[in-house]
Structure 1
Amino acid sequence: MPSLQYILPIINVIVIINAVAAVITVFRDRRDIAATWAWLLVLIMIPVAGFVAYAFLGRKLPKNRLFRLKKETQIRLEQMIQRQRDELGSELMPADAVTSSVRGMVSLFLNSDGALLSRKNRVKIFTDGHEKFHAMFQDIEAAKKHIHIEYYTFYNDRIGNELLHLLERKAAEGVDVRVLYDPWGSMGTFRSFFKHLEELGGHARPFLGAHSAILDFRLNFRDHRKIVVTDGRVGYVGGFNVGDQYLGRDKKFGYWRDTHLRIVGSGVFELQERFIRDWNATDAEHRIEPSAEMFPVIKVKGNTSLQIVSSGPDNDGQQIKMGYIKMIMTAQQRLWIQSPYLIPDDSVLDAIRIAAMSGVDVRIMVPDKPDHAFVYRATQYYASELAEAGVKIYYYNNGFIHAKTMVIDGQVASVGSANMDFRSFKLNFEVNAFLYDTDLAKELETVFLRDQDLSSLVTVQDFKDQSFWLKFKQTFSRLLSPIL
């Protein structure tokens, strides 16, 4: 048996090599300070296993893929948009044509994301998966020209197969069907799942050409968007994915509470454009060439003004996060937030604190059960911090709440795919609708109050009464929050 005098030097050498490798690994890519220190902590404190975790969570998106996305981002489909602007006139307006209360927000998105302000849209809110999929299936069934679908999760299960068979039938009718899905979010769904759809003339592609989660084992930089556009006239955006659990069929989660929008009007243009850019960055061989048919002139009698805003790691602007901060700082009376994850960075955390300490009625609703252990404990940590600042924290008790909504003063709201966490702010590709409509905002407030009746208020004392072990898990998870 080797003596201790030989073992200790070997251990010291391994520790030194591990530390050097950790520094080289972390600093070779540009990242913010919080994420840098978090990764150093993981790599140094958990040798070997830490590098395995880094392979899944820490690696950057390859530069060639980022270039493809940036290149497509420059294609703003200006001719189509200008045509709409010319024919719709006042229905697409610049920031100075709206009321002063939202002018700054409209300008923010115009300047940071080129997001047009679209007026006179008809928007319907869905909070139940059965109702959402029923309406979406009807719109897909009615499509005559094209169907564009982009989801983080497209599972090979009951609802996934129902949607696939519907798409196959539409493709057989000659409708141009295209599906983008994220291979990690759609774990278990392989290219062969869409084989018959492609035989019928449809197209299905994993986002940015990753063939499977196994070959592209990267948890970061996922396509977390949820977009459906039919004939350029009807669009869907929100939090629901395609899977049985989103219909409450998974015993682990129970009833699934989410929020999704159906949009009819010129607001669909930006959803259509977003899908085209993502598709063309993914499949250059079967590019979509924008045509007037994809951007029809839509005149509806609606009351909702909105902007579709997207963000992702191909752009350092963090547009959706900036929109959240703008909303938080704009709130005068009420700021109500629903999110399955509450892991804000310092800028968002400070904005929420300032709002609460300024007398704004700040309420945040999160699930009362985890779907990811570390993420849930980090959520509890930040919930306790915000409770101390005067924020009312609610745990949703009627299943699992997955909605990503924010509403202020019954005037402005946001609904989309972006959670209140680091991952949605910086690491994933997201899309949100920012809504300027008092009736719609008040409807979302009513939804919040209905959910509040099914939730429990967690007080500062409740957090203080938690066990030492639970507090330790929350604090440890918080240290990893920049990389969760």
Structure 2
Amino acid sequence: MVLFVINLLIAVWLVGRDRRDIAVTWAWLMVLTFLPLIGLLLYIFFGRKLTQDQIFVIRQEQKQIMEDFKARQQALVDQKNEDVRGKVTEREQLLSRLLGSLDGAVLTQANQVEVFTDGEAKFNQLIEDINHATDHVHVEYYTFASDHLGRRLLQALEEAARRGVEVRVLYDLGGSRGTNYKFFEYLERLGGQAQAFISASKARFTTPRLNYHLHRKLVIIDGNVGYIGGFNVGDQYVGEDPKFGYWRDTHFRVTGSAPTMMQIRFMMDWNTTCRRTKKERLDFDDEILQKQLSMLADYEAHTKGVPMQIVSSGPDNDQYAIRRGYQNIISQARNYVYIQTPYLIPEDSILEALIIAAKAGVDVRIMIPSMPDHPFVYRATEAFARYLTMNDVKVYKYDHGFLHAKTMVSGNNIAAVGSANLDYRSAKLNFEVNAFTYDAELAQQLKETFEQDLQQATLLTPSYFANQSKWLKFKQSCCRLLAPIL
């Protein structure tokens, strides 16, 4: 009993000293209390928050890069935005203003978007674009595996570096298990650079805070071609892992103005990491700044296209821009909201928004995978799916392989595609980036893609869950209790 009380006091002290959500606090207290030693190890590696010093450094990097560029960029697009404001709905204006306020996301107008839902097609096009790069290729992925696809992409990057193209690769150590600095040695000998996000050079574990991941997926080529979405680099993402079979994801290839904002995002993440690795920073000097602004001005002046905001969120910022953007889309929906997410573990605000919309007669449909890639996460997803099904939300499981897409589409022309899932981790723990778009044709394409996926999906009903075993329901309930820390 004495040991139990001591353990409880230590747990309260460890969890209580950081400001965090009450649900997260109770979840960690439960783990630390009932799993004394194991729980402590889990907390040390996964539960501790980023230090204020780390957050300050990340914010300072963002401030130094963003302020001057965004001020000049905003001046370029303001006039065009004024021209289109009278043509967009109040709902679109509300969302774009919200995202601008939360993340400083500039609304760019001149973008051409190609949608990829198949990994082989996406990476074929990406490698072709890299093969035609003349100035730079900047790559940022949560997973950059050292398997067949990883080596294939790396070879294209090495060929680009050999041609004199500036190549930089940023990856997450936790998401790229089995990949380390040695994998990129030849690329660096050719003049390219690679580093793991906020980790020291040549180290596998540099901090016990393993719960914060670079979950973004970005590639920027020559400043005017950008990739953003859900695909990572690995054989499973092109359907070559028998465990998952066909991999269903969604990714954008964007040409035009928005890649400039992707470029800014990459620069901030790269420079933040350089503080540890001592690698060469990316500084936006006047020459580079003017080149980007000139490119942006040319697109904005002469090209019509998809209005788009590149929106970021992460544990360094308490504005939760992507999560609040999702919440705005759901709460403002009048006809339908279609959502695809591999992990359905929404925070209470999103959960209530979904139920309120469904109860108000909005056609709310959510599609999740039919198989787990993380067992605890999937059981929690099933628990939330059961609860939403009981509250008039239509939840489907995708039966044709593994669904990894992170998409939301609603109304005539509002959509979001990116790296952020509908779960606690994407809302508060991971560094994420999404494209929010305002275009009728693109929204219709994503809506039709969702409806096509319905042909290979099963609607989950109350009877479906009622027929599950008591043991499975017990596991779902237990995992739901741990939802804030999964």
TM-score in same-fold range (> 0.5):
yes
Name the residue aligned to 2:188: 198
1:155 aligns with 2:145: yes
Structure 2 CA distance for aligned equivalents of residues 93 and 69 of structure 1: 33
**SS state at 1:74 partner:** helix
Closer, same or farther: CA 204–183 of 1 in aligned 2, 3 Å: same
Matches within 5 A, 1:220-369: 220-284=211-275, 285=278, 286-290=280-284, 291=288, 292-295=290-293, 296-297=295-296, 298-299=298-299, 301-369=303-371
Does structure 2 conserve the Cα–Cα contact (< 8 Å) formed by 1:26 and 1:39?
A: yes
| TM-score (ref. length: structure 1) | 0.94
Does structure 2 conserve the Cα–Cα contact (< 8 Å) formed by 1:93 and 1:118?
A: no
Structure 1 CA distance for aligned equivalents of residues 423 and 29 of structure 2: 21
Q: Which runs of 5+ in 1 are unaligned?
A: 1-11
Query: Which sits farther off after the overlay, 125-134 or 83-92?
Result: 83-92
Closer, same or farther: CA 94–106 of 1 in aligned 2, 3 Å: farther
The superposition leaves residues 30-73 of structure 1 with CA deviations (integer Å, 9 ceiling, x where unpaired) of 11100000100110011111112212320112333222111012
Name the residue aligned to 2:96: 106
1:21 aligns with 2:19: no
Aligned amino acid, residue 360 of structure 1 = V
Aligned amino acid, residue 419 of structure 2 = S
Aligned residue among 197, 200, 208 for 1:207: 197
Aligned amino acid, residue 202 of structure 1 = G
1:400 aligns with 2:402: yes
The superposition leaves residues 427-482 of structure 1 with CA deviations (integer Å, 9 ceiling, x where unpaired) of 00000000100110010011101111011111011112211111100000000000
Does structure 2 conserve the Cα–Cα contact (< 8 Å) formed by 1:332 and 1:409?
A: yes
Name the residue aligned to 2:440: 438
Does structure 1 conserve the Cα–Cα contact (< 8 Å) formed by 2:239 and 2:245?
A: yes
Structure 1 CA distance for aligned equivalents of residues 102 and 72 of structure 2: 22
Does structure 2 conserve the Cα–Cα contact (< 8 Å) formed by 1:418 and 1:430?
A: yes
Query: Which sits farther off after the overlay, 49-58 or 156-165?
Result: 49-58
Structure 1 CA distance for aligned equivalents of residues 378 and 45 of structure 2: 19
Closer, same or farther: CA 88–70 of 1 in aligned 2, 3 Å: closer
Closer, same or farther: CA 351–214 of 1 in aligned 2, 3 Å: same
Query: Which sits farther off after the overlay, 176-185 or 68-77?
Result: 68-77
Query: Which sits farther off after the overlay, 333-342 or 295-304?
Result: 295-304
Matches within 5 A, 1:67-78: 67-78=56-67
Does structure 2 conserve the Cα–Cα contact (< 8 Å) formed by 1:257 and 1:399?
A: yes
Structure 1 CA distance for aligned equivalents of residues 243 and 44 of structure 2: 28
The superposition leaves residues 290-330 of structure 1 with CA deviations (integer Å, 9 ceiling, x where unpaired) of 11335533426343111110000000011100000000011
| TM-score (ref. length: structure 2) | 0.94
Does structure 1 conserve the Cα–Cα contact (< 8 Å) formed by 2:310 and 2:436?
A: yes
Q: 1:210 offset after TM fit, Å?
A: 4.2
Q: Which runs of 5+ in 2 are unaligned?
A: none
Q: 1:93 offset after TM fit, Å?
A: 5.6
Aligned amino acid, residue 479 of structure 2 = S
Structure 2 CA distance for aligned equivalents of residues 304 and 358 of structure 1: 30
Matches within 5 A, 1:112-191: 112-191=102-181
Aligned residue among 26, 51, 56 for 1:62: 51
Does structure 2 conserve the Cα–Cα contact (< 8 Å) formed by 1:198 and 1:204?
A: yes
Closer, same or farther: CA 29–210 of 1 in aligned 2, 3 Å: farther
Aligned amino acid, residue 222 of structure 2 = D
Matches within 5 A, 1:400-479: 400-479=402-481
**SS state at 1:332 partner:** coil
Name the residue aligned to 1:51: 40
Q: 1:213 offset after TM fit, Å?
A: 4.5
Q: 1:206 offset after TM fit, Å?
A: 0.6
Closer, same or farther: CA 82–18 of 1 in aligned 2, 3 Å: closer
Q: 1:91 offset after TM fit, Å?
A: 4.4
**SS state at 1:444 partner:** helix
**SS state at 2:36 partner:** coil
Q: Indicate the RMSD between aligned Cα atoms, in angstroms.
A: 1.7
**SS state at 1:75 partner:** helix
Structure 2 CA distance for aligned equivalents of residues 251 and 306 of structure 1: 36
Query: Which sits farther off after the overlay, 89-98 or 143-152?
Result: 89-98
Query: Which sits farther off after the overlay, 251-260 or 280-289?
Result: 280-289
Q: 1:90 offset after TM fit, Å?
A: 4.2
Structure 1 CA distance for aligned equivalents of residues 292 and 234 of structure 2: 28
- Count of aligned pairs: 473
Closer, same or farther: CA 263–90 of 1 in aligned 2, 3 Å: farther
Q: 1:85 offset after TM fit, Å?
A: 4.8
Structure 1 CA distance for aligned equivalents of residues 49 and 98 of structure 2: 28
Name the residue aligned to 1:390: 392
Structure 1 CA distance for aligned equivalents of residues 218 and 292 of structure 2: 15
Q: 1:409 offset after TM fit, Å?
A: 2.0
Does structure 2 conserve the Cα–Cα contact (< 8 Å) formed by 1:226 and 1:237?
A: yes
Q: 1:21 offset after TM fit, Å?
A: 1.1
Query: Which sits farther off after the overlay, 455-464 or 209-218?
Result: 209-218
Structure 1 CA distance for aligned equivalents of residues 478 and 158 of structure 2: 48
Q: 1:398 offset after TM fit, Å?
A: 0.5
Query: Which sits farther off after the overlay, 20-29 or 309-318?
Result: 20-29
Q: 1:86 offset after TM fit, Å?
A: 5.1
Does structure 2 conserve the Cα–Cα contact (< 8 Å) formed by 1:377 and 1:473?
A: yes
Q: 1:219 offset after TM fit, Å?
A: 3.6
**SS state at 2:212 partner:** coil
Percent identical residues: 49
